[in-house]
C-alpha cells in the first residue's frame, strides 16, 4: 500500500516537472522570437539610415512651435535666475565688506557660465538637431556673424581675455585713459566704471585690452591715497613732517597696517623755489579715498596756519593742492 502511494507521488512529481520544462521551453522560444523581431527592426532602421547617408540625405528634422515655445520659456527662466542671483550676490557683497571684492569678482564668471548652460539646454535638449545640421548651421552663422559684427566679436574676445588675464576685478579702482573709478561690472562687450562724479562710463573691452590700465588696489579693500602740498621753501620741515604724519594717523579713514610716508621735494614754480610735500597713507576702504584725502588736506593746512608756520600770504600764488591715488 505504501509502495502504491509512493509510486503515485513520484508520477505526480514527474508530471509537474515535465510541465515546468515545457513552459520554460515555450518562454525561451517566445524570448528568442521577440529578440529576432527586434534585431530585424534595428537592421531595417540601420539599412534606412545607411540608404539616406548614401543618398546624401539626413534624417528628417524640423523646428516646431513646441520647440520654439519651450526655448523661449527656458530663456526667460534662465534670464530671471541669472538676474536675481546676480543681485543677491551684489547685496551679499555690500553687506560683507571684507569679502565684497571676492564676491563681486565671481559675478562675471557666474553670468557667463549661466548663459552657456542656458544655451546648451536650448540647443541640445530642446531643438536637438542632428550633428550634420548643427555643424552646417554653426559654420554658416559663424561666417555671417564674423563679417557683420567684427567690433562686437573684438569686444567679446577682449572680455574673455580680461577674465583670464585678470588685470582687475569688480570693485577695483582703475584708471583707463581719461577715466578713473570703481569697476561696477565686467561684461562681454564693455566694462562699466563709476567715476568720482557718480557717472557710469562704459568702456569697450577691445579698447581696454590695447590700453595701459592702472589698478589702485589690485583686489584688496585698502589702497594708497596721496595728498600733495606746495609750501614755501623757508618752512620748518621737521615740524611740518610731524603735522602731516599726525593728520593722517588720526583720521577715521586711515588703514594703520600699512605705513604713512611724508616726502619733500624741491621744485621751481614761476621762478620761485618751493617745497612739494607728498603725504602718503592707506585708506581702509577704497570708497573713502576722496574723503580721506580731503580730511588730511584740511587738517594739515589748518594746523600749519594755527602754528603760524605759513600765512595766507605765503599760500597765495602757490599751485593748488593736488589729491591723487
Enclosing H/E stretch for 191: strand 190-194
Average pLDDT over residues 119-125: 82
Q: Answer yes or no: is pLDDT of 268 > 50.
A: yes
Residue 108 domain-assigned (yes or no): no
Angle of helix 150-165 relative to helix 131-148, nearest 10 degrees, comes to 100
**pLDDT confidence band for 93 (50 / 70 / 90):** confident
pLDDT value at position 85?
86
15 pLDDT band, cuts 50/70/90, is: very low
Predicted confidence at residue 86, as pLDDT, reads: 85
DSSP-H helix ranges across 57-178? 65-95, 100-120, 131-148, 150-165
Residue 206 within any structural domain of the chain: no
Q: Which domain holds residue 254?
A: 223-324
Q: Mean pLDDT over residues 60-64, rounded?
A: 68
Does residue 4 carry a pLDDT above 80? no
Could you tell me the three cell numbers for 220? Answer: 584688496
47 found inside a domain = no
Looking at residue 132, its pLDDT comes to 72
**Does residue 282 lie in a domain region?**
yes
Q: Is the pLDDT of residue 14 over 50?
A: no
Number of domains in the chain: 1
Highest mean pLDDT among 44-48, 110-114, 238-242: 238-242
pTM exceeds 0.85: no
Q: What is the CATH number of the domain that holds 294?
A: 3.30.70.100
Residue 145 and residue 153: Cα distance in Å, rounded?
9
* 285 located within any domain: yes
What is the chain's mean pLDDT, rounded? 77
Q: How confident is the model at residue 42 (pLDDT cuts 50, 70, 90)?
A: very low
141: in domain: no
Compute the distance between CA of residue 14 and CA of residue 273 in angstroms, rounded to an integer.
127
Per mean pLDDT, which of 37-51, 74-88, 251-265 is the most reliable? Answer: 251-265
Within-domain flag for 43: no
Closest by Cα among 239, 272, 194 to 247: 239
pLDDT tens digit sequence for 140-162: 666 666 665 567 777 878 888 88
DSSP calls for 126-157: II---HHHHHHHHHHHHHHHHHH-HHHHHHHH
Question: To 10 degrees, what angle do helices 65-95 and 100-120 make?
Answer: 170
Is residue 3 in a domain? no
Amino acid at each position: 500500500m505504501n509502495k502504491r502511494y509512493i509510486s503515485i507521488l513520484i508520477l505526480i512529481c514527474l508530471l509537474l516537472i515535465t510541465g515546468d520544462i515545457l513552459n520554460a521551453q515555450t518562454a525561451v522560444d517566445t524570448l528568442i522570437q521577440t529578440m529576432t523581431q527586434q534585431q530585424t527592426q534595428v537592421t531595417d532602421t540601420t539599412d534606412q539610415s545607411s540608404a539616406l547617408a548614401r543618398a546624401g540625405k539626413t534624417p528628417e528634422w524640423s523646428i516646431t512651435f513646441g520647440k520654439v515655445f519651450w526655448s523661449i520659456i527656458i530663456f526667460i527662466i534662465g534670464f530671471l535666475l541669472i538676474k536675481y542671483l546676480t543681485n543677491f550676490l551684489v547685496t551679499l557683497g555690500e553687506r560683507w565688506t571684507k569679502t565684497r571684492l571676492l564676491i563681486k569678482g565671481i559675478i562675471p564668471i557666474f553670468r557667463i557660465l549661466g548663459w552657456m548652460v542656458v544655451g546648451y539646454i536650448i540647443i541640445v535638449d530642446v531643438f536637438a538637431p542632428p550633428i550634420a545640421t548643427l555643424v552646417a548651421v554653426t559654420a554658416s552663422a559663424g561666417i555671417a556673424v564674423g563679417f557683420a559684427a567684427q567690433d562686437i566679436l573684438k569686444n567679446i574676445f577682449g572680455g574673455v581675455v580680461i577674465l583670464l588675464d585678470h588685470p582687475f576685478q569688480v570693485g577695483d579702482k582703475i584708471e583707463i585713459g581719461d577715466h578713473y573709478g570703481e569697476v561696477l561690472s565686467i561684461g562681454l562687450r564693455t566694462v562699466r566704471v563709476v567715476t568720482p562724479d557718480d557717472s557710469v562710463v562704459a568702456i569697450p573691452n577691445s579698447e581696454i585690452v590695447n590700453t595701459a590700465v592702472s589698478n589702485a588696489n589690485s583686489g584688496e579693500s585698502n589702497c594708497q591715497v596721496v595728498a600733495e602740498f606746495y609750501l614755501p621753501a623757508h618752512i620748518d620741515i621737521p615740524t611740518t613732517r610731524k603735522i602731516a604724519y599726525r593728520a593722517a594717523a588720526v583720521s577715521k579713514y586711515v588703514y594703520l597696517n600699512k605705513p604713512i610716508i611724508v616726502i619733500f621735494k624741491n621744485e621751481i614754480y614761476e621762478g620761485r623755489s618751493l617745497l612739494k610735500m607728498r603725504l602718503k597713507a592707506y585708506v581702509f576702504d577704497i570708497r573713502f579715498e576722496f574723503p580721506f584725502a580731503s580730511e588730511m588736506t584740511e587738517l594739515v593746512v589748518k594746523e600749519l596756519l594755527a602754528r603760524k608756520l605759513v600765512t595766507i600770504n605765503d599760500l597765495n600764488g602757490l599751485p593748488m593742492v593736488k589729491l591723487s591715488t
